[in-house]
């Protein structure tokens, strides 16, 4: 085999899910023995045969990516239970294996994938998708770039034709559940357990966490970064729609029209709400000049 063929063969072996007892599978998808596959490009040594040497890489890949996904989505793991979370993680990573130099991007497709795989979340499916959306927004908000915001004087000079942009770290979410407080509570619990126990030995299967009186109702949420910390802020529906339209590149006048479309807020009160929004946005540095067009 040439180098490319060896790389593809090894990648296919390493990316295959482990067995139930965390070992490498004995057969390749095409029916070949994995011992023969391993021996075709790996030499044995004095202690391990080719299969055992390849198994080390197969196991370490899965231990690392499963651990990384659990670190990024602890609240999702808590609400579906550890057994279901491991099953959905393996299924997701089989469909979306790591393709980046950084594990930061590992969960980038999880929200979309989870939306089409309710078999892993049961009756908590809609809530699980919302929780995953909030947790991925945290990752994006923490890591995404920050731009110089408009000054209050620049904001005061805007008119209906002004085209703006939002901070790249600002993430907007329309949720079916008020799950932000739940996620924050579960994250705090995770930190507290780690702090109290040091390196904690987990049970083989942790049951889904109780949800108390959580009820389904629409919530509009923003995740944003201040310094090195990520915060969540609930938005009015009209505020969310306006910000979403600004992000889409609509001029300010059209963005406001989209924000108040079918709104129950009386028209005479629109200006008061807009002034209040812009005061908050200016304080938080959310509004930026339009990004220059790329050639």
User: Which tens digit of pLDDT belongs to each residue from 77-131?
Assistant: 999 999 999 999 999 999 999 999 999 999 999 999 999 999 999 889 999 999 9
Tell me how far apart the alpha carbons of residues 263 and 18 are, in angstroms, rounded to a whole number. Answer: 52
Task: Confirm if 181 and 127 have CB atoms less than 8 A apart.
Answer: no
Same domain membership, residue 288 and residue 245: yes
Task: Confirm if 29 and 37 have CB atoms less than 8 A apart.
Answer: no
Tell me how far apart the alpha carbons of residues 144 and 169 are, in angstroms, rounded to a whole number. Answer: 5
| Mean of pLDDT over the chain | 92
Tell me how far apart the alpha carbons of residues 8 and 60 are, in angstroms, rounded to a whole number. Answer: 18
In this prediction, residue 1 carries a pLDDT of 78
Same domain membership, residue 199 and residue 153: no
| CA dist 274 → 219, 254, 268, 280 (Å) | 19, 13, 11, 10
Same domain membership, residue 139 and residue 208: yes
Q: Would you say residue 185 has pLDDT above 50? A: yes
In this prediction, residue 196 carries a pLDDT of 57
Task: Look up the pTM and report it.
Answer: 0.88
53, 71, 89 - which closes a domain: 71
Same domain membership, residue 118 and residue 96: yes
In this prediction, residue 212 carries a pLDDT of 73
Grade residue 199 by pLDDT with cuts at 50, 70 and 90: very low
- Split into its structural domains, the chain has a count of 3
In this prediction, residue 142 carries a pLDDT of 96
> What are 241's two structure tokens?
């729609």
13, 40, 71 - which closes a domain: 71
Same domain membership, residue 162 and residue 294: yes
In this prediction, residue 201 carries a pLDDT of 47
Q: Please give the residue range of the domain that contains residue 25.
A: 1-71
Query: How does pLDDT run across 200-245, given as a tens digit for each residue?
Result: 445 556 777 777 778 999 999 999 999 999 999 999 999 999 999 9
Burial class (CB in 10 A: 0-12, 13-18, 19+), 159: exposed
Same domain membership, residue 114 and residue 26: no
Same domain membership, residue 293 and residue 195: no
Q: Would you say residue 257 has pLDDT above 50? A: yes
Q: How many CB atoms lie within 10 A of CB 105?
A: 14
Same domain membership, residue 157 and residue 238: yes
The 171-175 sheet, strands edge to edge: 171-175, 219-226, 229-235
Tell me how far apart the alpha carbons of residues 221 and 134 are, in angstroms, rounded to a whole number. Answer: 9
In this prediction, residue 205 carries a pLDDT of 66
Same domain membership, residue 65 and residue 126: no
| CA dist 99 → 29, 43, 137, 185, 194 (Å) | 21, 27, 20, 32, 30
> What are 82's two structure tokens?
């550890």
Q: What is the mean pLDDT of residues 241-255?
A: 97
Query: How does pLDDT run across 141-164, given as a tens digit for each residue?
Result: 999 999 999 999 999 999 999 999
Give the CA dihedral 129, 112, 285, 244, nearest 10 degrees: -100
Among candidates 39, 10, 14, which has minimal Cα distance to 25? 14
Tell me how far apart the alpha carbons of residues 190 and 77 are, in angstroms, rounded to a whole number. Answer: 11
Same domain membership, residue 268 and residue 197: no
Q: Write phi, then psi, for 43 (nearest 5 degrees).
A: -90, 145
Tell me how far apart the alpha carbons of residues 13 and 15 are, in angstroms, rounded to a whole number. Answer: 6
In this prediction, residue 210 carries a pLDDT of 75
Beta strands in 46-187 (DSSP E): 164-166, 171-175
Same domain membership, residue 206 and residue 288: no
Q: What is the mean pLDDT of residues 60-81?
A: 95
Q: Would you say residue 197 has pLDDT above 90? A: no
Same domain membership, residue 41 and residue 128: no
> What are 204's two structure tokens?
């083989």
Tell me how far apart the alpha carbons of residues 240 and 273 are, in angstroms, rounded to a whole number. Answer: 12
71, 100, 118 - which closes a domain: 71
């Amino acid at each position: 085999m040439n180098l490319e063929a060896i790389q593809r063969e090894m990648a296919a072996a390493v990316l295959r899910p482990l067995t139930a007892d965390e070992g490498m599978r004995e057969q390749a998808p095409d029916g070949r023995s994995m011992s023969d596959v391993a021996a075709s490009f790996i030499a044995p040594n004095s202690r391990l045969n080719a299969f055992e040497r390849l198994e080390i890489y197969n196991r370490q890949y899965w231990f690392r990516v499963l651990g990384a996904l659990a670190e990024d989505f602890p609240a999702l793991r808590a609400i579906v239970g550890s057994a279901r979370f491991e099953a959905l993680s393996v299924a997701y990573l089989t469909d979306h294996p790591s393709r980046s130099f950084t594990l930061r991007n590992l969960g980038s497709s999880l929200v979309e994938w989870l939306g089409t795989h309710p078999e892993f979340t049961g009756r908590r499916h809609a809530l699980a998708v919302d929780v995953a959306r909030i947790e991925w927004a945290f990752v994006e908000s923490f890591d995404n770039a920050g731009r110089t915001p408009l000054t209050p004087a620049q904001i005061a000079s805007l008119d209906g034709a002004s085209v703006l942009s939002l901070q790249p770290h600002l993430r907007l979410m329309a949720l079916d559940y008020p799950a932000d407080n739940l996620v924050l509570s579960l994250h705090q619990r995770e930190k507290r357990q780690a702090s109290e126990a040091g390196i904690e030995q987990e049970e083989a299967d942790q049951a889904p966490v109780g949800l108390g009186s959580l009820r389904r109702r629409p919530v509009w949420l923003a995740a944003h970064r201040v310094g090195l910390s990520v915060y969540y802020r609930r938005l009015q529906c009209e505020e969310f729609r306006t910000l979403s339209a600004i992000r889409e590149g609509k001029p300010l006048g059209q963005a406001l029209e989209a924000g108040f479309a079918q709104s129950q807020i009386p028209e005479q009160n629109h200006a008061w709400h807009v002034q209040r929004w812009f005061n908050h946005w200016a304080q938080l540095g959310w509004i930026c000049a339009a990004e220059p067009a790329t050639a």
